[in-house]
Amino acid sequence: MTQSHGYAAQNATTPLAPFKFTRRELHDHDVQVDIQWCGVCHSDIHSVRNEWNNAVYPMVPGHEIIGTVKAVGSAVQKFKVGDLVGVGVIVDSCRTCPSCKAGEEQYCEVGITLTYGQKDKYGDLTQGGYANNIITDEHFVHTVSPKLNPAGVAPLLCAGITTYSPLRHWKVGPNKKVGVIGLGGLGHMGLKFAHAFGAHVVQFTTSESKVADAKRLGADEVVISKDAAAMKKQANSFDFILDTVSAPHDINPYLEALKRDATYAQVGLPDKPPVIFPGNLIFKRRSWSGSIIGGMAETQEMLDYCAEKGITADVEVIKIQQVNEAFERVVKADVKYRFVIDMVSLGA
């Protein structure tokens, strides 16, 4: 067994606190990573607080992981000790179903193993990146360029790929008008990517205080979504809209903003379903869809694209001791635009 320590939730209501645990021995295809940085995703908060009714405790959250390879199993081919690597939201899938074979492991038909809060194939409860180390099959480990600030790369492992993948899938690019709803961790990456892909990007936000930042991050227009008149002006004009909002909200005004045949994709996963007026789909043959993270090859493609273009997340670096306060600020939409934990603060 491998000794590990980090911060865990013991139930849905008490703060995260120091926690010692063990991880599996290094198997042939496994990589042991010493964690240096871990992003704070809103999914960590939904999970810790059991907002999706599937929490298993104790839970060490964290799936935006950057670190260096400490040890490799005997059959590992992609990595050597000392490499800078990343681990994201999933750590296993069946590898044989049609989705896995297509490189879309996140849609594995047998079921994915999440980085934390799920039993893995060995029967152990997975534990995430608010910790000193992690042991993962090399297929779910990614190469990270040392050219970029590693703290800003950590959020790419979830917020980055979760927005990159649908923007690529729905072919966002030049001559497309694209909306991003919510300027948080996911939203600010969606905005950066849509802008980098050459689209005309409209950022929707509830926060007037974020307008200037949205423009700096690449928005061609910013719409305050609480302004009904401003929303009406956008009617029938979008090729694609990406919803990154973490809380229940009315999506009908955004559906009305789509052109005929255009798609609204959900990546935000609030704990309650939206109410959709079917006419908003029917009368313009619009689609309401969704997307989860991205495949392993696409995650590497996204990391390489970011290294080439110099794209990273805008981060507020915190110590692990500040994580409970950070959760409160994320819930209040008060983060610019991702908290990332400096794991040195965890101590030995």
Applying CB under 5 A, which residues contact Zn ion?
A: 41, 43, 93-94, 97, 100, 108, 110, 158
Q: Which does 210 bind (CB under 5 to 8 A by kind): ligand NAP, Zn ion, none?
A: ligand NAP
230: which 2 tokens?
């401003």
CA-to-CA distance for 132 and 130, rounded, in angstroms?
7
Q: Which does 167 bind (CB under 5 to 8 A by kind): ligand NAP, Zn ion, none?
A: none
Q: Give the residues across from 68 on adjacent strands.
A: 34, 84
Identity of the residue, 30 or 64, whose beta carbon is nearer to ligand NAP in the bound complex: 64
Instruction: Give residue for tokens 């990406």.
Output: 242
Q: Are 279 and 85 a contacting pair, CB within 8 Å?
A: no
CA-to-CA distance for 270 and 64, rounded, in angstroms?
20
Which of these ranges, 14-22, 70-78, 110-118, 330-338, lies near ligand NAP under the rule CB under 6 A?
A: 330-338
Radius of gyration for the alpha carbons in the chain, expressed in angstroms and rounded: 20
Instruction: Give residue for tokens 């079921």.
Output: 111
Which of these ranges, 113-121, 127-135, 156-164, 319-327, lies near ligand NAP under the rule CB under 6 A?
A: 156-164
Is residue 185 close enough to count as binding ligand NAP by CB under 6 A? yes
Q: Which does 97 bind (CB under 5 to 8 A by kind): Zn ion, ligand NAP, none?
A: Zn ion
Is residue 244 close enough to count as binding ligand NAP by CB under 6 A? yes
Q: Which does 32 bind (CB under 5 to 8 A by kind): Zn ion, ligand NAP, none?
A: none
User: Phi/psi zone of residue 172: left (φ > 0), alpha (ψ -120 to 50 degrees), beta?
Assistant: beta
Q: Show contacts with ligand NAP in window 277-296 (CB under 6 A).
A: 292-293
Is residue 268 close enough to count as binding ligand NAP by CB under 6 A? yes
Q: Which does 23 bind (CB under 5 to 8 A by kind): ligand NAP, Zn ion, none?
A: none
Angle at 335 between CA 117 and CA 127, to 5 degrees: 15
